[in-house]
Structure 1
Amino acid sequence: MPRRFRAPVVLPADPSCSVLRDGVVDIGDDGRIVFCGLAADAPPWPDLLVTELPGILLPGLVNTHAHSPMTLLRGMGGELPLLRWLREIIWPAEARLRPSDVRTGMVLGSVEMLRHGVTTSAEMYFHSEQMADAVLSTGARVLLGTPIIDLPGLDWREMITATERWIDADGLRWGPGERVELTYTAHSAYMLPVEALRLTAESAAARGALVQIHVAEAADEDLAQRAEFGSVPKLLDRVGMLAGRVIAAHAIHLSDEDIALFAERRVGVAHCPGSNAKLASGMARLRELRAAAVPVGLGTDGPASNDDLDLWEEVQLAAMLSRLATGDSTALGAASALLLATRDGAAALGRDDIGALEPGRWADLVHIDLDDPTFATGLDVPDDQLLSNLVWGAGSRRVRDVWVAGEQVIGEGESLRVDRAKAQAEVAEAAARIRG
């Protein structure tokens, strides 16, 4: 039924990151937002169910790049550099995964994200049907697809065909509240032949689908592509991929020319500062990307490379590392960092129906309570101080309630749909078998 949420502070994640004092969010019976603004300006609505929330209400966070079923592999090979970590530890372990294992890992990953206020994640992993089923069970929102990669025993042509069949059968978005969006998940230019990249681009463009792809994560991963084409972005542009919807994960080792190309083509970037720092992959040129108006969101990457799925940590790391990289303590403020995880993340994925509290968008909401030393000074402080306390101090620690498409999925910090203890036990059992 239609509902109204009222809170002392509402953060709609509009372009200026406004702070609404005594705000309301009205939700229609279809799970979309009807109104967001000051309570004094709210339209009359007879027989409306009103819920008073004693804290801060903001949009659900958007994780633009993740491999969440890797909760099963958390901590494995954690001291190795990226390419050795993949080839020696991760890919051999993944070869032992069963489809049911992927569902098990995704359930726990989805619950972990929801408890941190992350309502949407863009996922790249095997057995995507199992992943979709897992996310529908937790109530979250996801963008995913059948992985496309060239490895022994895998047929990248069949992977493209499988994605086509799925989209043609179910459509791009489906499920309650359009919780699932199907995408093309091409691993990378260094793990696919040029023909595969071209066919992926053509197939995705024909269906208006998003392509997820790793780009320029490690300095030495794409030496052959750079020697032949100049850079991976130039290669992707040549095969037509940048003419459609694309989210480039990591995008660390980019030239000025690459950034200009991404800006011209409106390519989204998934900035993953935690994973990039842990694997010593490098620091993305965040200031330059934003200055060029490249759509940038934040990603956790996988829980085996980060090693958690807390996007609030990425908010903090993005700001701190940008300041370190530029030597400028004003390089990225709390408001801009918060937008990276909400409105900007949605834009990087080519979505205008999530990431902000605006009429027509899905009612994906997060309630932050104030029972924490961070908020000891209360809410009656200047807007910039309030945002600073939220971003730098509280983070995910005070996420209490979460709604997706107007449906509550987290209450008092716990999943209302999934037994978390059981999910953790099932991951432990599967992980023990995978380790051998």
Structure 2
Amino acid sequence: MTLQPARRYYAPIVLPMDASCSVVRDGVVDVGADGRVAYCGPRTDAPPSNGQAVTQLTGILMPGLVNAHAHSAMTPLRGAGGDLPLMSWLNDVIWPAEARMRPEDAYAGMLLGCVEMLQHGVTTSAEMYLHAEAVVQAALTAGSRILMAPAYFDLPGAHWQSAVARIDKWIDADGMQFGPGDRIELCYGPHSAYTLPVEALRATAESASARGALVHIHVAESLSEDQKQRAAHGSVPRLLEETGLLKGRLLAAHSVHLSVHDIRLLADYGAGVAHCPGSNAKLASGVAGLTALRAASVSVGLGTDGPASNDDLDLWEEMRIAMMLARVTTEDPMALTAPAALMMATRGGAAALGRKDIGALCPGTWADMVHVGVDGPSFAAGLNVPDEQLIANLVWAAGSRAVRSVWVAGEQVIADGQPLRVDLVRARRAVARAASHLLSQ
């Protein structure tokens, strides 16, 4: 990778997103030339400066957010079939449009999706989509970090065997992580238990286990989608256990309709869950049992799902929706607090993906950082307030509108809210052309 000059960042507030969600006042973050954090903590405890460049920030410096489940290349399909339930939306609108998708359409959609996420402070996203090479190239162009799971199904003309073999070959050739700052991680993307035969799930488990790769799969998103699998195996998590998928790294997206036994299975095997409250609410898929998952110590991150089912890529909005749904379904205002929601969007998302090098600022993690401005009305009370109030103002009131600058692996990719690597006007025009092609039928 291209080395960046070592740099020291000063900020009135630093949120390392450690296990206690501590607030460091008058903080310092040192970033090495390798793009990793060398020190994060109070100025009074910082090591002596070794001549590195210095950046003095106002406001808050924190880790980049981790979007645990997304199909960000769907930006050309935003708004299409927006008032349909999940299966009608997929079968009648989305899948026919995606059948017409070309690599250049996926590239355009992903490039704009990456910029949108970066402008919202989302530095990492777990992507499942088609045309994986184009999606990866778009992420590298924008400077984003992604976990890429090429999606595969058992459909006419779509042979899952060749899809699994292609992922095997790609990982074996390029490694599981590659690109500047290891921005790309390759994963397996079996779409779901209801779009693939049992033998495809077994083959995926074998290939992923041999390489230590993550398997990213939709699980129990709606009640109607997997009735045959439930009848034959008891539940989708039980099927995942039977096929060996739970024995390796597994990310279960959505996980809305789970029994107590299902949750216990996920917990016992250490599977991660991507909670997508906004998409699930819009598509009337249901409300996931977040409090039960967290009580069972399942690693839960937050996901936006795709920009055609949400319809944005704003993880701050997912924090607020998750808190409100958890509270109203349990009638408990403490069911999900602002610090807990922020943890899910950072450290928790990383844990759900099986990653320890993102989602926090501590020695050795990648310097994926977000600078939050505090000059808006959300912080009118100032920064000299109790820690709980400060985080509440950040999560409940400020959100993505307060994001000012963003770094990935120590490289600045957003400055004053604008992308540094992408011509935004050209990117939007490319998505308009893609949308015209995909939705003109």
Q: Report the TM range for the smaller structure's normalisation.
A: over 0.9
Corresponding residue for residue 57 of structure 2: 53
Give the deviation of 1:185 after TM superposition.
Answer: 0.5
Q: Secondary structure at the match of 2:146?
A: strand
Q: Which amino acid aligns with 1:113?
A: M
Corresponding residue for residue 217 of structure 1: 221
CA contact (8 A) 1:125 1:147 kept: yes
For structure 1, which segment, 254-263 or 39-48, has the greater mean C-alpha deviation from structure 2 after superposition? 39-48
* 1:172 paired to 2:173: no
Q: Distance in 1 between matches of 2:97 and 2:59?
A: 43
Corresponding residue for residue 283 of structure 2: 279
CA contact (8 A) 1:146 1:185 kept: yes
Give 1:20's match in structure 2, choosing from 17, 24, 34. 24
Give 2:361's match in structure 1, choosing from 357, 360, 367. 357
Q: Secondary structure at the match of 2:191?
A: strand
Give the deviation of 1:21 after TM superposition.
Answer: 0.4
Give the deviation of 1:147 after TM superposition.
Answer: 1.5
TM-score where L is the length of structure 2 = 0.98
Q: Secondary structure at the match of 2:391?
A: helix
* 1:112 paired to 2:141: no
Q: Distance in 2 between matches of 1:289 and 1:46?
A: 45
TM-score where L is the length of structure 1 = 0.99
Corresponding residue for residue 420 of structure 1: 424
Q: Secondary structure at the match of 2:222?
A: coil
Q: Which amino acid aligns with 1:262?
A: L
Give the deviation of 1:45 after TM superposition.
Answer: 2.5
Q: Distance in 1 between matches of 2:367 and 2:103?
A: 31
Give the deviation of 1:218 after TM superposition.
Answer: 0.4
Corresponding residue for residue 431 of structure 1: 435
CA contact (8 A) 1:139 1:417 kept: yes
Give the deviation of 1:145 after TM superposition.
Answer: 2.8
Give the deviation of 1:434 after TM superposition.
Answer: 1.4
Corresponding residue for residue 389 of structure 2: 385
* 1:322 paired to 2:343: no
Corresponding residue for residue 194 of structure 1: 198
Q: Distance in 2 between matches of 1:209 and 1:431?
A: 33
Corresponding residue for residue 206 of structure 1: 210
Q: Which amino acid aligns with 1:19?
A: V
Q: Which amino acid aligns with 2:175?
A: G
Tell me how large the CA RMSD over aligned residues is: 0.6
Give 1:29's match in structure 2, choosing from 28, 33, 53. 33
* 1:295 paired to 2:299: yes
Structure 1, gaps ≥5 residues long: none
Corresponding residue for residue 161 of structure 1: 165
Corresponding residue for residue 79 of structure 1: 83
CA contact (8 A) 1:146 1:162 kept: no
Q: Secondary structure at the match of 2:412?
A: strand
Corresponding residue for residue 40 of structure 1: 44
Corresponding residue for residue 317 of structure 2: 313
Q: Distance in 1 between matches of 2:91 and 2:272?
A: 27
Q: Secondary structure at the match of 2:342?
A: helix
Q: Secondary structure at the match of 2:428?
A: helix
Give the deviation of 1:18 after TM superposition.
Answer: 0.3
Q: Secondary structure at the match of 1:78?
A: coil
Per-residue CA deviations over 1:328-352 (Å, capped at 9, x if unaligned) read 0111111000000000100000000
Corresponding residue for residue 236 of structure 1: 240
Q: Which amino acid aligns with 1:147?
A: A
Q: Secondary structure at the match of 1:146?
A: strand
Q: Secondary structure at the match of 1:335?
A: helix
Q: Secondary structure at the match of 2:166?
A: helix
Q: Distance in 2 between matches of 1:364 and 1:157?
A: 36
Corresponding residue for residue 138 of structure 1: 142
Q: Which amino acid aligns with 1:202?
A: E
Corresponding residue for residue 256 of structure 1: 260
Q: Distance in 1 between matches of 2:224 and 2:380?
A: 48
Q: Which amino acid aligns with 2:295?
A: A
Q: Secondary structure at the match of 1:377?
A: coil
Q: Secondary structure at the match of 1:188?
A: coil
Give the deviation of 1:429 after TM superposition.
Answer: 1.3
Give 2:335's match in structure 1, choosing from 331, 342, 362. 331
Give the deviation of 1:39 after TM superposition.
Answer: 0.5
Q: Distance in 2 between matches of 1:166 and 1:293?
A: 34
Q: Distance in 1 between matches of 2:362 and 2:288?
A: 30
Give the deviation of 1:15 after TM superposition.
Answer: 1.0
Q: Distance in 1 between matches of 2:66 and 2:164?
A: 26
Give 1:403's match in structure 2, choosing from 402, 407, 429. 407
Q: Secondary structure at the match of 2:278?
A: helix
Give the deviation of 1:127 after TM superposition.
Answer: 0.5
Q: Secondary structure at the match of 2:206?
A: helix
Corresponding residue for residue 6 of structure 2: 2
Per-residue CA deviations over 1:340-399 (Å, capped at 9, x if unaligned) read 000010000000000000100000000001121011110000100000000000000010
Give the deviation of 1:151 after TM superposition.
Answer: 1.4
Q: Secondary structure at the match of 2:27?
A: strand
Q: Distance in 1 between matches of 2:205 and 2:349?
A: 22
Q: Distance in 2 between matches of 1:16 and 1:278?
A: 33
Give 2:95's match in structure 1, choosing from 91, 95, 115. 91
Corresponding residue for residue 153 of structure 2: 149
Give the deviation of 1:32 after TM superposition.
Answer: 0.4
Per-residue CA deviations over 1:102-124 (Å, capped at 9, x if unaligned) read 00000000000000000000000
Per-residue CA deviations over 1:281-323 (Å, capped at 9, x if unaligned) read 0000000000000000000000000000000000111111000
Give 1:124's match in structure 2, choosing from 128, 141, 144. 128
Q: Distance in 2 between matches of 1:421 and 1:314?
A: 27
Q: Distance in 1 between matches of 2:55 and 2:389?
A: 26
CA contact (8 A) 2:149 2:215 kept: no
Q: Distance in 1 between matches of 2:160 and 2:33?
A: 42
Q: Distance in 2 between matches of 1:430 and 1:128?
A: 17
Q: Distance in 1 between matches of 2:234 and 2:10?
A: 53
Q: Which amino acid aligns with 1:10?
A: V
